[in-house]
Amino acid sequence: MRITFFAAKSYDKDSFNKIKDQYPELELEYWETELSPKTASYVQDSEAICAFVSSDVSEKTIRALGERGVKLILMRCAGFNNVDLEAATKYGITVMRVPGYSPEAVAEHAMALAMAVNRHLHKSYMRVRENNFSLVGLTGVNFYGKTAGIVGTGKIGAAMARICHGFGMKVLAYDVYQNPDLDFAEYVDLDTLLAQSDLISLHCPLMESTHHMINIDTINKMKDGVILVNTSRGGLIKTDDLIQGIREGKFFAVGLDVYEEENANVYEDRSDQILEHSTVARLLNFPNVMVTSHQGFFAREALQAISKTTMDNALAFMEGRKNGNEVTA
């Protein structure tokens, strides 16, 4: 089976090429171009395509893929909120994803963001490069003895909860489904978590029920001086309300690996361009905000897991096997 990859970076090619000899049934073709209704025409004689979280897998794209004989969409990521699953069903296309790939990588990045913005490491680094060794404005707070609020306790959220527990923090958790492995965490309602947490870390999927769950109403329920971290999905936070909260002094610090309107920028070098949207520029105007480039997953172990699971998914589809990684509307 031939698989056409879209938005394939050098690290994607390296990771998949390292294991492709283990899958002689699969032929790989790479395009650096992002998937869209227009670039769907690049598919030639491929039964499958491989896309990413930033890809346009809308009804229009899926229709174009179906017209070119595509039967399988392989998402080399856990999220699939950018995929029109109803359209996939309509055009007889199976969608498969990678549900878990080194959740510790994302959790460790979440804590790295929390620590960096708390101790102003981004500011300190730039100062020292200019021979400025002043400590003014670099005061942080201890995490030990504080309360961490984990919103979403799936694999990534559970990993973050364990990290916070290891730091000597009290851990509050909020999720529709309680994780029995987190016997040290106290499950509470969202309002209680918001009101009592010194550090809030978001680890839930983006769905209709979670879209803009962090808004001016929920922000007003948080402690003054709270640290907020989001390594999940940008749409969980209403950006305008977040900016209002920052301006009003609600947050001690904010660390974001994802943000609204990021799709045009994800994994692209835009350093010599003027950004069409002002979200990043507005956020970076604040000295207590740190934004990274959706890199929470980006660890060697995660790349290995992504490539192997994606190839296993393709093989299972070829052989007519269900392996639990299929997603439907």
Catalytic residues: 233, 262
Q: How far is Cα 293 from Cα 270, in angstroms, rounded to an integer? A: 12
| Residue 151 identity (one-letter amino acid) | V
The distance from CA 289 to its chain's CA centroid, rounded to whole angstroms, is 18
Q: How far is Cα 325 from Cα 328, in angstroms, rounded to an integer? A: 10
Residue 298 phi, psi dihedral angles, 5° rounding: -80, 75
Q: How far is Cα 87 from Cα 271, in angstroms, rounded to an integer? A: 36
Considering only CA atoms, which of 184, 189, 195, 183 is closest in space to residue 219?
A: 195
How many C-beta neighbours within 10 Å does residue 73 have?
Answer: 25
SS3 per residue for 314-327: HHHHHCCCCCCCEE
| Residue 285 identity (one-letter amino acid) | N
Q: How far is Cα 121 from Cα 284, in angstroms, rounded to an integer? A: 15
Q: How far is Cα 225 from Cα 117, in angstroms, rounded to an integer? A: 12
DSSP states of 102-149 as a string?
A: -HHHHHHHHHHHHHHHHTTHHHHHHHHHTT----TT------TT-EEE
Considering only CA atoms, which of 77, 83, 42 is closest in space to residue 60?
A: 83
Buried b (16+ CB within 10 A) or exposed e, 302-312: bbebbbbbbbb
